[in-house]
Structure 1
Amino acid sequence: MLFDLESYYLQPIKTRDAWALCDFIISNEDRLKRYFPKTLEQNLTPDLSKVFVEKKVKQFRLKEEFLFTLKEKSTQQLVGLIYIKEIDPIKKQGEFAYCIGYPFEDKGLASKSVKLLTEFAFKDLGLKTLQIIAHKTNLASVKVAENCGFIWKKTLKNEFTPSGELPLDMELYELYFENE
């Protein structure tokens, strides 16, 4: 399964991505530590990344969570991660989370990725509601939600606690599957 994004592509995480993932995480540590602390701590060494990737490949196969890598076609460099997580098969609901590496920000890659994976989530996974949860100061993430047609629903009080910080209120955006 491969999703084409002109000079980039999305694909499910693979076991051979462990080393590249570790490199991506370490080189973007400052940007990941606040909103992706668990992903960060599980990928600080190549050995940790190998365990993390094996777990994510298994979760993908079991349809528990879907982690996609975003890579540049010409170099095969890992430039971002897009999750479809918090899958609730009863509610037919899932949540997007995404991060793009420093050199690749402001290219619309997260928005393009979320748009492609929204179609996958609705048509292939049978989800009916997709969510993005972002802090109001994370303007890039809010912009992705808005660019992809997600609608602000409410503020979630004390929803997320970054390492060493007080709990943060987060903004909930949702998008619903509409039969055509």
Structure 2
Amino acid sequence: MIYSSEHFSISLLQPKDALQLNKLLVSNTERFIRFLPKTLEENTTLESTQYYIKRKIKSAKKRNEFVFIIHDKHSIDIIGMIILKNLDWKIKKGEFAYCIGKRFKGKGLMSKAIKATTNYVIEELGLETLQILSHKTNLSSVNTALGSGFEWQATLKDEFKPLNKAPLDMELFEFSRPDRF
């Protein structure tokens, strides 16, 4: 476990998470489809989620990508996930992608989870700069980035291509290690 509070805990993805992760992703497909299409495509059945978890655990061991799971402390539910991706160990930079289930949206939990995961990634993994990309209309994500201490840097033109849609401009938010010069 990398973090625990009164309401939720955060841990690296584990095989035992398969059923609850699949439940989160399948039950929130409509909510997540625009910005997490690949993750959803890889988790359509329990079996595909089990395979996804095996691949992501291997990826974490190789330090290519890390998936963190947010567990509700009052049930067995997984309420969200945070993916640390696009890692560049030479310049100590990575990017967060995240989602939270509809029932838990708007409670500030994801901002707290991003703050806790940011601390872990900086202190334990040694990254110095973290990024979040969000579309300006995804106000929940923008508010999560800002509420987690990330600062807006730029608008990136045609940065993201949703399934069967035109490319979207994305807002870049960044957090740098406080003692970084």
Relative to the length of structure 2, the TM-score reads: 0.96
Q: Is the 8 A contact 2:136 2:170 kept in 1?
A: yes
Matched to 1:152, the amino acid is W
After superposition, give the CA deviation of every residue in 1:107-156 in whole Å (9 maximum; x if it has no partner). Answer: 11110001001111111111111000000000001001111111111111
Question: Which residue in the other structure is 1:45 paired with?
Answer: 45
Question: Which residue in the other structure is 1:6 paired with?
Answer: 6
**Stretch deviating more after TM superposition (165-174 or 18-27):** 18-27
Question: Which residue in the other structure is 2:36 paired with?
Answer: 36
Question: Which residue in the other structure is 1:179 paired with?
Answer: 179
Aligned residues: 180
Q: Which runs of 4+ in 1 moved over 4 A?
A: none
Where 1:16 maps in the other structure, the secondary structure is helix
Q: CA deviation at 1:71?
A: 0.9
CA distance in 2, matches of 1:146, 1:2: 22
Q: Is the 8 A contact 1:5 1:112 kept in 2?
A: no
CA distance in 2, matches of 1:158, 1:5: 38
Q: CA deviation at 1:45?
A: 0.6
**Stretch deviating more after TM superposition (56-65 or 99-108):** 56-65
2 and 177 in structure 1: CA distance in 2 versus 1, 3 angstrom threshold: closer
Question: Which residue in the other structure is 1:80 paired with?
Answer: 80
Question: Which residue in the other structure is 1:107 paired with?
Answer: 107
Q: Is the 8 A contact 2:2 2:120 kept in 1?
A: no
Q: Is the 8 A contact 2:159 2:169 kept in 1?
A: yes
Question: Which residue in the other structure is 1:123 paired with?
Answer: 123
Taking every aligned residue pair, what percent have the same amino acid on both sides? 41
CA distance in 2, matches of 1:72, 1:178: 30
Question: Which residue in the other structure is 1:168 paired with?
Answer: 168
Structure 1 residue ranges without an equivalent (≥5): none
Relative to the length of structure 1, the TM-score reads: 0.96
Matched to 1:62, the amino acid is K
CA distance in 1, matches of 2:173, 2:96: 10
Q: CA deviation at 1:65?
A: 1.0
User: In angstroms, what is the RMSD of aligned CA positions?
Assistant: 1.1
CA distance in 2, matches of 1:153, 1:132: 10
CA distance in 2, matches of 1:95, 1:137: 19
Q: CA deviation at 1:7?
A: 1.6
84 and 2 in structure 1: CA distance in 2 versus 1, 3 angstrom threshold: same
